Homo-oligomer: A and B are copies of this chain.
Amino acid sequence: MAVSFEILFKSKENAARVGRLQTPHGEIETPVFMPVGTQATVKALTPEELQDLGVSIILANTYHLYLRPGHEVIAGFNGLHKFMHWDGPILTDSGGFQVFSLAKLRKITNEGVTFQSHIDGSKHVLTPERAVEVQEALGADIIMCLDECTPYPVSREYAQSSLDLTIDWAKRCKEAKRSERSVLFGIVQGGMYKDLRVESAERLIKIGFPGYAIGGLSVGEPQELMNEIASHTLPLLPQERPRYVMGVGKPENLIDLVAMGADMFDCVLPTRNARNGQLFTRHGAINIRNACYISDHEPIEAGCSCYTCQNYSRSYLRHLYMAREILSYRLNTIHNIHFFMQLMKEIRLSIREGTLEKLRKEYCV
């Protein structure tokens, strides 16, 4: 198996665990947050900067890379790692989520989904087999089954048929898998229906995957409902396998979900918000465009050890942001990624020390 998972420490207070995920491109300590590198670049940063920030695995988006530059171009480099000059672990999603959220004129059948590119309107078909083929060409360490991310709110009937489709596609993805250099994770759906989450998890486990993701969370539902469904679903997944909550999330979500037993996360929050001027601190997020920062000589957060806080004032960062300078996106992204990496480091430590609840109070004001 290309990826192995070992649990190093289990919390006595809750379901949290510290683990180690071994991949062909290196070791990942879990719980882990994966910055999103949609188009084979984590926006604004170099691979060396990611490494310096303590990023151990990144996520890339199959939909975008399939459309541009095309997976064949990347296959010519033997995959994403060489293409983008990142030799650490990579996880690719299946492309399904973006087909449903970005593409135009999509039509879904049991066979797969046809859609038009949001870039040039060209017509494409994504099937489970194709999703695996494209991801294998991209050469990620962890690849994902094609699924339908069940929207919120939906009827029980919709959630059931979406779940049936996702299970059928999961089987076909597993059968389509060829490459030895990556492992395929299954995705639990079922919307906000607890019994459907049970059904989805059971049928997925029956097919059998080296890792399991929970999809369809953080899709617009209230936070308590997300936590309710997550805390219901996470224990259904095998203890000895990594559990990945897709598309989440905010610092408080990460701490909550870790306590429920989640191991992996991805979200555009730190990178996208950085580009919008929203910077994370332990005392809440600030927006650097705020006029109160025009002559503020302090760093974003006193005591922060990131490159940005070590060398630049809020005043300068506000100026760069207002002037739409490229350096603004860089410095803001460095700070936010540092913040998330630091949070995950403290989460891992807090699990071992039994202080996760205390950490939650520190971070979530």
Contact = CB atoms under 8 A, between A and B. Distances in A.
A100 interface: no
B41 A77 contact: no
A323 B85 contact: no
A319 B320 CA distance: 26
A110 interface: no
B319 A85 contact: no
B320 A73 contact: no
Interface size class of A (residues with CB under 8 A): 20 to 34
26 contacts: A39-B319, A39-B320, A40-B316, A41-B325, A43-B325, A43-B326, A43-B327, A44-B326, A44-B330, A46-B327, A68-B319, A68-B322, A68-B323, A69-B315, A69-B319, A69-B322, A76-B295, A76-B297, A77-B297, A77-B315, A83-B313, A83-B316, A84-B316, A85-B316, A326-B326, A330-B330
Given A46-B330, A326-B326, A326-B329, A315 B41 contact: no
A92 B131 CA distance: 54
Nearest to A331: B46
A327 B69 contact: no
Given A295-B76, A297-B76, A320 B85 contact: no
A17 interface: no
A9 interface: no
Contacts of A85: 311-312, 316
A177 interface: no
Interface in A143-171: none
A73 B39 contact: no
State how many copies of this chain the complex holds: 2
Given A41-B327, A43-B327, A326-B326, 15 more contacts: A40-B319, A41-B326, A44-B326, A44-B330, A46-B330, A64-B323, A68-B323, A69-B318, A69-B322, A73-B295, A76-B315, A77-B297, A85-B311, A326-B329, A330-B330
A39 B40 CA distance: 29
For the complex of A and B, list the 3 residue pairs with the smallest distance between their C-beta atoms, beginning with the closest. A44-B326, A69-B319, A39-B323
B322 A45 contact: no
A186 to B, nearest CB: 30
A300 to B, nearest CB: 14
Contacts of A246: none
A69 to B, nearest CB: 4
A84 B327 CA distance: 11
A325 B65 CA distance: 13
B294 A69 contact: yes
Contacts of A330: 44, 46, 326, 330
A315 B77 CA distance: 10
Nearest to A73: B295
Given A315-B73, A322-B68, A44 B83 contact: no
A351 to B, nearest CB: 34
Interface string A62-87: 00100011000100110000011100
A316 B83 CA distance: 6
A294 B69 CA distance: 8
